[in-house]
Chain A
Amino acid sequence: MSKTRVGILALQGDYAKHAQMVRQLGGDPVLVRSPVELLKCPGLIIPGGESTTMVKLLHKHELWEPLLKFGQERPVFGTCAGLILLARKLLHDYFQPLGFIDVVVQRNAYGSQIDSFIDDIKVIVLGQEKIVEGVFIRAPKIVELGKGVEILAFHKKDVVMVKQNNVMASSFHPELTNDTFIHQYFLNEIESAQTIRK
């Protein structure tokens, strides 16, 4: 079986950390900076970084429209800034996000860098519950949750990972931990989506 190819949006941010994790799981990470590179990938990770910077570069590099189409068909996973980009709406409307997940997100909801933290979170996928390390860096918060949204993780009472159709997102950074659980789940999503398409 050939390695599962995973696109990683590499305009800015910690894309190298995601690539490292995909490689560790036996996948084939492909850095995506153009529409041509995007369309070669069966799934895409949007990394952490600065969402305002990414939005500007997505428009500038003509990736916005192709990404809108991509997310309707193929698996996408966003972390932190990725969650912000995938949301339906942002509190204070800094910009219009891609809108794949019916949530309203507040940017920098916990404060400045000194309010960044690490704490246990409870992940619930495929009926399994697992406690993993949640790394929250100038993290966003989900402040409104739409009806069709599946909850994949909690930190205390806050929902910190969600999924709608083929698109999932977390407000924390699994790529900054040694736990490959969440990335493995996303790789499986890509593989099963590929099987269905075939």
Chain B
Amino acid sequence: MKDAHDIKLKIGLAEMLKGGVIMDVTTPEQAKIAEDAGAVAVMALERIPADIRAFGGVARMSDPTVILAIKKTVTIPVMAKCRIGHFAEAQILEALGIDFIDESEVLTPADEEFHVDKWKFKVPFVCGCRELGEALRRIAEGAAMIRTKGEAGSGNIVEAVRHMRSVTGGIKRIQVLSDQELVTEGKKLGAPVEIIRKVKELGKLPVPNFSAGGIATPADASLMMQLGAESVFVGSGIFKSSDPAKRAKAIVSAATNYMDFDLIARVSEGLGEAMPGIEIKEIPETQRMADRGW
């Protein structure tokens, strides 16, 4: 009963964040700008992904001072990232009273075989995925929210689109499979058949599915929502642009009214420079964040 309660509360919070924008912030001032712009949550970080990419080296959980200062500044939920498989970082984030943990490929993985056993925690987890099998494995480990990975810090939407289409395409495929075919599908996807049955029954993932990695404009947000995202994460896209407050508000409006193109056109006017983007092919394979996690 307790476990059933726990997962209901975890997915419940994810439900509350739907139709919104979750913004990466590195200081209390940025967190305030995000909240004032209408963010539904903030991701507290020492460095945004674009800077992690530039900085190089091992990227770890942020200093608790940074996280706590941000937590003190805003009333919306605060998320923070731990390294893939680094359950001790997750335990520390839980102790800090973080509302949601992102077991994130943006940081350097701590375990190249196993992700965190997320059922052991009371705090909910969000995990990245590139395709359906990866999403279902994370759900099997107890993730309460999935986000397609995209390529963090790239300012390029192409990977986010690829991953979202791959997940929704995989879900469509399951809809047309007979019950007899589901076990083999499970083998192909590398995911438990019970969750695949659930996906067939629901026609969607059993937890909310958000989009991340490369969103830089209101149009990008609308694109991802139309492709099936239930909310969007914006990492470097806001605070690497020339007018963060204005861009943040515009992206919030576009995520809410993603089918109202007159409105998106209006809010897209005069936003100044977007973050400079990177062609994915120019990122060496060893530095592609999306390939971390399995």
Interface residues, chain A, with chain B CB atoms under 8 Å away: 10-17, 33, 48-50, 52-53, 56-57, 60-61, 80-81, 94, 107-108, 111-114, 116-118, 135, 137-138, 173, 176
Q: A60-B38, A137-B9 are in contact. List 6 more A-B contacts (CB 8 A).
A: A14-B16, A14-B18, A15-B18, A113-B124, A114-B123, A173-B12
Interchain CB contact under 8 A, A112 and B75: no
Interchain CB contact under 8 A, A48 and B16: yes
Min CB–CB distance A49 → chain B (angstroms): 5
Min CB–CB distance B53 → chain A (angstroms): 29
Min CB–CB distance A150 → chain B (angstroms): 27
A-facing residues in B1-43 (Cβ within 8 Å): 5, 8-9, 12-13, 15-20, 35-41
Interchain CB contact under 8 A, B38 and A56: yes
Interchain CB contact under 8 A, B252 and A53: yes
Interchain CB contact under 8 A, B97 and A116: no
* Chain A interface main SS type: loop
Interchain CB contact under 8 A, B38 and A52: yes
The answer for the CA separation of A112 and B19 in the assembled complex, in Å, is 21
Q: Tell yes or no: B84 within 8 A of A by CB.
A: no
Question: What would 10 A/B residue contacts be, using CB atoms closer than 8 Å?
Answer: A12-B40, A13-B16, A17-B15, A48-B15, A49-B16, A50-B16, A80-B16, A108-B75, A113-B9, A116-B9
Number of residue pairs A-B, CB distance < 8 angstroms? 105
Find the A residue at minimum CB distance from B19: A12
Q: Tell yes or no: B94 within 8 A of A by CB.
A: yes
Residues from chain B with Cβ under 8 Å of A176 in the complex? 8, 12, 15
Given contacts A107-B75, A176-B12, contact A12 B100 (CB under 8 A): no
Interchain CB contact under 8 A, B97 and A114: yes
Interchain CB contact under 8 A, A50 and B20: yes
Interchain CB contact under 8 A, A117 and B35: no
The number of residues on chain B lying at the interface, defined by a beta carbon within 8 Å of a beta carbon of chain A, is 34
Interchain CB contact under 8 A, A10 and B19: yes
Given contacts A50-B76, A138-B99, contact A118 B13 (CB under 8 A): no
Given contacts A12-B40, A15-B19, A137-B9, contact A114 B257 (CB under 8 A): no
Residues from chain B with Cβ under 8 Å of A17 in the complex? 15
Instruction: Tell me which of B19, B20, B38 has the highest count of chain A C-beta atoms within 10 A of its own C-beta.
Output: B19
Interchain CB contact under 8 A, B253 and A60: yes
The answer for the CA separation of A49 and B16 in the assembled complex, in Å, is 4
Interchain CB contact under 8 A, A12 and B18: yes
Interchain CB contact under 8 A, B40 and A113: no
Interchain CB contact under 8 A, A50 and B18: no
The answer for the CA separation of A80 and B16 in the assembled complex, in Å, is 10
Closest 3 CB pairs of A and B: A113-B99, A14-B15, A112-B97
Interchain CB contact under 8 A, A112 and B99: yes
Interchain CB contact under 8 A, A113 and B13: yes
Interchain CB contact under 8 A, B256 and A11: yes
The answer for the CA separation of A116 and B123 in the assembled complex, in Å, is 10
The answer for the CA separation of A112 and B252 in the assembled complex, in Å, is 24
Residues from chain A with Cβ under 8 Å of B252 in the complex? 53, 56-57
Residues from chain B with Cβ under 8 Å of A12 in the complex? 18-20, 40, 256
Given contacts A57-B256, A113-B124, A138-B77, contact A49 B20 (CB under 8 A): yes
